[in-house]
Structures are given as C-alpha cells and as structure tokens.
Structure 1
Amino acid sequence: MVGDTMTLLSLLGRIMRYFLLRPETLFLLCISLALWSYFFHTDEVRTIVKSSRDAVKMVKGKVAEIMQNERLAGIRVLDAEFSKTWQFKNNNVAVYSIQGRRDHMEDRFEAAADYVKAHLPEALKQHLLSQERGRRDNYPSLLEHRILSVDREMVEKLSANHDEAGTTCLVALLSDRELTVANVGDSRGVLCDKDGNAVALSHDHKPYQLKERKRIKRAGGFISFNGSWRVQGILAMSRSLGDYPLKNLNVVIPDPDIMTFDLDKLQPEFMILASDGLWDAFSNEEAVRFVRERLNEPHFGAKSIVLQSFYRGCPDNITVMVVKFKSSASSSAAGRSKTAE
C-alpha cells in the first residue's frame, strides 16, 4: 500500500515537472487568466492581475532606482578622476592632462617633472636669445648639452634630499626649416605630414630593446618582468632624468636621442607630444587619425584623445600636447613652406 502511494506521488511529481511547470504551459496559463479576466471580469482574476501589475511596477521602480544610483555613482567616480586635470591653450598649442586611474599625478605635479619644467625651457630660451641674430645654431648639440646639465643638477639636488623621483623628457625645438626633437624615456612625439601620414618624432627607451638591454647588462644591471619589463625590477624605462639610485649604478642614463626633420619636405599639419599613458591606448597612426578629425575643437583634439584614452581603460596618467602648423606667408623660395602659428 505504501509502495503504491509512493508510485502515485512520484507520477504526480513527474507530471508537475514535465508538463505543468514547463515555460510554454505557464505562458498559456497566463494567457488563459487574461482572457478570463477580459470576458468574465471576475473579481478574483482582476485581483490576481492587479497584484501582478503592481508587482511589475514595483520591480521596475527598484530596477530604475538601482540603475540611477549606479549611474550617479559612476558620474561621481568620473568627476573624481577628472577633477585633477591640467589644461592650457595659447594660439596654436593646446595641452590637456588628467590624473586618470593613478593614485598620484606624476606627469606634471612631481618633483622631477617640476624641476625640469622650471629649468630646462628657461635655459634653452636664454641660450637662444643670447645668439647673434640670424646665426644658425647646432640645435642637436644644444639640446643634448642642456638636457645632460639639467639632469646632473637635478640628481645632485634630489639625492641630497633622498628624493628618488625621475621623469621623462621630450623637447621639440622649431626653427624656420627644421624641427629638432630630443627624447629621454618613453614619452613620444608623432607628426602628421601634408598627406595625413604619421611620422614618428621619437622612439621609446624601453628595457626590453636589444640596444638598451645590452647596455644595462654591460653596466652590471638586469631587467625583469613585473607587469612590464623593468630595470632592476623597478623602472619601466631605460633612460630618464633623475632616478638617482639607478643613475648611480649607471643602469639608467639621461642621454637623449635627437632627431631632425625637414619641414619643407614634410609640410606638417600638426604634431602630438604625449606621455606614455596615451600610447598605452593609441598607436601613432590611430592618434594622428583621431586628432586630425578633431583639429577644429577648442583643444585641437587634445582633450578628446585624453578622455578617449581613459575610456579605453588606460591605467596611467595621460598628458597630450597638440601643436598646429599653418602655411607660411613667405614664399616657398625663401624655404619656409610651413611654420608654427
């Protein structure tokens, strides 16, 4: 008798599971209740339908509230990320910089970066002003000399205070016919020529590069992988200004790479000078295309590409300078087809 009862209950359970609780059966049941309510308007069915509608409204309200709170929270996060920004615009030059997802802003507001900003441009300016009018200077030699001098002075000062700060250095010196670019570290410059092509103005100094790796090994140092390849497991670039502990070991050096470009040949539209945060999210070619489409914006595309880098997930500080060029009023025979505005 007990066995028969268990068999009957088992059979009823299978019927419930395989027929009554199937999605299509439940759907038909709901349709039947709706039709019953429409044609017969029974109080019971109206109560069931009204309760269902109220439940749906309540759930929708809760979902909307959650989405709104998440949206506001996201806006608050973005406000916090973008509250620590720095921007500049003057004639043909625009700069936009954000702290991004880093705990600190190291692109600009940091001891080594501040020191180089305060001393290198002024030293170059004073040297150029002291030259006789019309005299052509050896810009590569000038840039190398001034960069190495600033590094020696900064290392002496920061090491006395046990400040281990370091910085990259990217300098573009523009004359009537030439553009001279000096680079130390992994900030990068790229130029857009008259045909819209990307022309590299510098090359990153990274520890994994064969030339840099050999030099580090000869100095008795090593590189290891810690999220990225790093000198002595610490610094993600092989050349920098400052960083006195690694500088004293001679595994990190301040020597700039310097390149000169013929403006008559390139006839550039603009150039981009940016910290490594941008290049984590954009290739040279992508950056040129992106900015070229936005040169008419207030910041010549600098602000847009910084924010786009952030939205693409860049974890670093991001700083971008865009410099526009224009056609010179002088004749091409004078050798100045393009100059900065």
Structure 2
Amino acid sequence: MEDELEDRVLHQTYLSFMKIVTRLTSSAPHDTPVSYLWKMVRLYFLRSEVAVITLGIILFIMYLQTIEQWSRTLLSRLSQAMSPISSVQRMKFMEGSEADKQSWELKGSLSAAYAIKGRRMHMEDRFIINENINNTGISLFAIFDGHGGEFAANYAKDHLIQNLYNKIVEIDAFKEGKIISTPTKDNAEDKPQEPESNTSVERKISFKKSVSTADDTSKKEVTDPELLAQLSKARPIITREVRPTKPIKNVPVPLSSYLDKGKINFGKLLTDEVLAADRLLVEAAKRSMNVAGTTALLAIMEGNHLIVANVGDSRGVMCDSRGNAIPVSFDHKPQQVREQKRIEAAGGYIAFNGVWRVAGILATSRAMGDYPLKDKKFVIADPDILTFNLNDHKPMFLVLASDGLWDTFSNEEAVKFIKERLDEPDYGAKSLTLQAYYRGSVDNITVLVINFLDNKVASSATQ
C-alpha cells in the first residue's frame, strides 16, 4: 500500500509541474533574442533625433582631432605675441634657438617654400629661392636633402648656389657685351667669386635664400650613428678611412663655352658646377672625416624655359594646363637597371635593408658628398638634366620636394592637392608639407611651389 501511495504522489507532482510549465510557455513571447534586440534598437537608437545627435558627436570628435596640431601652433604664436619681451629681444631669442626650430618658410613673388623637421632628430633639408637674379630674368630654385648629418647640405646650399649665382651674372653680362670673355676663376679656394675691377656689372651680394639651421657644421658635426654602423658592417669593402687621391687640376673654363647660339647652355653650367662643388665638398669632408651627403634638385627658369638638374631622390613635378602631373626629374634609386649596372661595374653591389641600398648603406645611388662611397664610384654626383619649353605645357605650377613628401604622396596626389590650394598665401606649400606629416612621413619634409598662373614668370623676367 505504501508503494502505491508513493507512486500516486509522484505522479500527481509530475502532472502539476507539467501544467505549470505549459502555462508559462504559452504565455511567453515568441520573439527570439536577436529579434528582441533589433526591436529595442529600432525603438530607441534609430529614432531620428538619436541618429542626428550621434552623428554630430562623431563629427565633433573628428574635428577636434583634425585641428589639434593647428590649435597647438596657434596657442604657441599667441603666447609669443603676448610675451612682455620686445620684438628685438624676441628675434634674438628665435635666432639663438635655431636648433630647436620645427619649421622654416620663405615667400617670393612667384614661389613659396615650407619645411619641417618632422619626426627626425635633426633638420637636414635645405632650400633656396632666388628669383630674378641681379635683374637678369633668370630664377634659381633648389632643394637639398642631407643624410648622415647637415654638413653636405649646408655646403651645397652655401657654395654651389653662390657659384651658380656668380656664373649666371658673369655669363649674362658677357652675353650682353658688358664684360670681356675671360676664363672663370679657379673655385679651389672655395670662395665666392668677385667681379673684375674693369667691369660695369653690378653684383648683388645679398640674394634670397633659405634660413639654415646651422651654417658651419664643420665645427658642430652631426653624424648619423646608424650610417656609421652600416659603414662598419661594410668593411673592408667600404671604410671611413681617407684614401689618398690624385689632385685634380682645375682647368679654367671660358664664359663663351656656356653660350650656344647666343643663349646660355644651362645644362652644361649646372653639370659643371655640381661636379665641381661635389669635388670640393668631398675634399672638405675628408679633412674632418664627415661622411654626410646630400641630394640636389635645382631648377633654373629663363623666360619660357625650365631646366632641371637632379642628383638623388628629391623630385620635381609640374602641373600642366589640364591638371596632369608631369615629372620634371627622375629619382636615382639603386634598384634601377641603369644604376644597378653602373654600381656593379664599379665593383659594388646593392642590398635590401628596409629598402634597396648601395652596399646596404645608402638608399639613393647618386648624391653629393658621401666620400666613402664616392671613392670607389659606387655613388656619383653626375646630374640628370631635363629641359622644358613652358609654352608646350602652359603649366599652372611646379612642385619641388624632398623625398619626405614623396614617401606619402604620389605625383598625381600632390598635384591635385596643390591645385585646390593655389589661392593660399604660400600656394599650398605649407598645407602639403603638414599633410605629408599627418600621413606618417618619418623624414624631414620640404616643399617648394612655383606658381606659373597670371604670367608671373614672364612679367618677372622682363622687370
């Protein structure tokens, strides 16, 4: 009897439990968790007012991130303006803190340049704006991108540009019949040339040029430790030791040799001056065992002609009347077939070390300076010369820049960027430089823009 009673109790308990479960199941909603979540989102989060507020918050955050750098610059300038020190004291303070500068800028009548140190420890870029030299109608622009220290870039900026300036003045005067055809002075003294006493040529000893972070780096040598380490690894093929070389006697070149049918042969002039400056630079570098080097990108304009000389991987790009990007120089990279064959013929090699490098050291196959690589002719300073008739392209502008820009911008992107900002006071040079930094360029960045619109070049040439 007891067993039967227990069975009945269990049976009744089971029936009661099942009735309760059945009631709960029948009263529960049939929505799945996913559908229930979507219903909540639709009811609360996709309401028009909620969507508008959320979008506004996102745009506001993006705006704050974009203007962060600009606001810092503005606050810095405001604090300087409100400082109680006088303008003279402020100028002396800025001159005294040259090594701490982060940016450099220069504005001409038809061109502008902007440069930043960026994420590098030292600023090794240099630039030149030299418009309408001595009222000759000839303008000279240059970009020097140093590596391994500032010595080579400073040397090229000071001595190569000064010699070019002097030669252009002399040749133009000779062409106009103002001076007698005489051989040019020997540049071995490494001094700017002075006019002949019997000439009527007026020399301007001051001319537009860029600000330099250090004018005499022979006293304060800044040499890249990484470059020195790479040189040590390359021994005995390449050493920092100074090898004796035969002195090269300077052969005076008559001014008439730079004239071709009454016009200046700027290609020959640029080639001769770059190679002469490189030879003197190498000699000066050996005296202090300074392994620094520099690229050189030079542009000369006379009337409707543009002549570009390039040594290294700085680059020039022209925007024609249709907005097309036209290269006016070509990078010298070790992996190029022409450059690789030349390096191997000299007994050298290229190796991949992050990028392709000459002997695993230098990422450009041509440069001024770099005497350890120059001794064996693994690296040369011979410039490529390209000449353009501006009437054929009717260009809007020309961009010259160090590879800090081209690491983050293609030719087409840079042209499009500047085209939309030509109305800015510096023709977009500053905006493009900063944008390259925002895109992650880790190098020094220098951008020089020459504006061809409104016939500014032609009017400058006739002044």
* TM-score normalized by the length of structure 2: 0.54
The one-letter code sitting in structure 2 at the alignment partner of 1:293 is: E
**Residue 177 of structure 1: CA displacement?**
2.5
The one-letter code sitting in structure 1 at the alignment partner of 2:118 is: G
Q: Secondary structure at the match of 1:272?
A: strand
Give the match for residue 129 of structure 1.
169
Superposed, which structure 2 residues align to 1:194-213 within 5 Å? Answer: 194-213=321-340
Task: Tell me, yes or no, if the aligned pair for 2:110 and 2:456 is still in contact at 8 Å.
Answer: no
Q: 1:339 to 1:290 in 2, by over 3 A?
A: farther
Q: Secondary structure at the match of 2:264?
A: coil
For 1:181 and 1:197, locate their aligned partners in 2 and report how far apart those are by CA, in whole Å.
19
**Which whole-Å deviations, capped at 9, do the CAs of 1:225-284 have from their partners, x for residues lacking one?**
111111011100000000010001210000000000011111111100000010011111
Q: 1:329 to 1:213 in 2, by over 3 A?
A: closer
**Which whole-Å deviations, capped at 9, do the CAs of 1:286-308 have from their partners, x for residues lacking one?**
11110011011111100000111
| Structure 1: unaligned runs, 5 residues or longer | 1-23, 29-66, 331-335
For 1:295 and 1:324, locate their aligned partners in 2 and report how far apart those are by CA, in whole Å.
8
Match of 1:104 among 98, 105, 122: 122
Task: Tell me, yes or no, if the aligned pair for 2:308 and 2:328 is still in contact at 8 Å.
Answer: yes
For 1:326 and 1:187, locate their aligned partners in 2 and report how far apart those are by CA, in whole Å.
24
User: Does 1:312 pair with 2:439?
Assistant: yes
Task: Tell me, yes or no, if the aligned pair for 1:273 and 1:321 is still in contact at 8 Å.
Answer: yes
Superposed, which structure 2 residues align to 1:20-31 within 5 Å? Answer: none
For 1:75 and 1:190, locate their aligned partners in 2 and report how far apart those are by CA, in whole Å.
28
For 2:124 and 2:456, locate their aligned partners in 1 and report how far apart those are by CA, in whole Å.
40
Match of 1:89 among 74, 85, 107: 107
For 1:235 and 1:145, locate their aligned partners in 2 and report how far apart those are by CA, in whole Å.
24
**Residue 340 of structure 1: CA displacement?**
10
Superposed, which structure 2 residues align to 1:118-197 within 5 Å? Answer: 118-131=158-171, 132-134=174-176, 135-197=262-324
| Structure 2: unaligned runs, 5 residues or longer | 1-32, 38-60, 77-99, 127-148, 177-261
Give the match for residue 277 of structure 1.
404
Task: Tell me, yes or no, if the aligned pair for 2:397 and 2:450 is still in contact at 8 Å.
Answer: yes
For 2:444 and 2:319, locate their aligned partners in 1 and report how far apart those are by CA, in whole Å.
24
Greater helix fraction, Structure 1 or Structure 2: 1
Q: Percent identity?
A: 50
**Residue 326 of structure 1: CA displacement?**
3.5
User: Does 1:265 pair with 2:387?
Assistant: no
**Residue 124 of structure 1: CA displacement?**
1.2
**Which whole-Å deviations, capped at 9, do the CAs of 1:46-87 have from their partners, x for residues lacking one?**
xxxxxxxxxxxxxxxxxxxxx9xxx8xx869x879x951111
Task: Tell me, yes or no, if the aligned pair for 1:326 and 1:338 is still in contact at 8 Å.
Answer: no
User: Does 1:254 pair with 2:381?
Assistant: yes
Q: 1:339 to 1:291 in 2, by over 3 A?
A: farther
Task: Tell me, yes or no, if the aligned pair for 1:267 and 1:338 is still in contact at 8 Å.
Answer: no
For 1:171 and 1:101, locate their aligned partners in 2 and report how far apart those are by CA, in whole Å.
25
The one-letter code sitting in structure 1 at the alignment partner of 2:102 is: K
**Which whole-Å deviations, capped at 9, do the CAs of 1:91-123 have from their partners, x for residues lacking one?**
111111111111221213811111111011211
For 2:327 and 2:106, locate their aligned partners in 1 and report how far apart those are by CA, in whole Å.
24
Give the match for residue 241 of structure 1.
368
**Residue 136 of structure 1: CA displacement?**
1.1
For 2:456 and 2:159, locate their aligned partners in 1 and report how far apart those are by CA, in whole Å.
34
Give the match for residue 425 of structure 2.
298
Q: Over the residues paired in the alignment, what is the CA RMSD in angstroms?
A: 3.0
Task: Tell me, yes or no, if the aligned pair for 1:182 and 1:258 is still in contact at 8 Å.
Answer: yes
Q: Secondary structure at the match of 2:263?
A: coil
**Which whole-Å deviations, capped at 9, do the CAs of 1:161-207 have from their partners, x for residues lacking one?**
00011000000011113100000000000111122111110000000
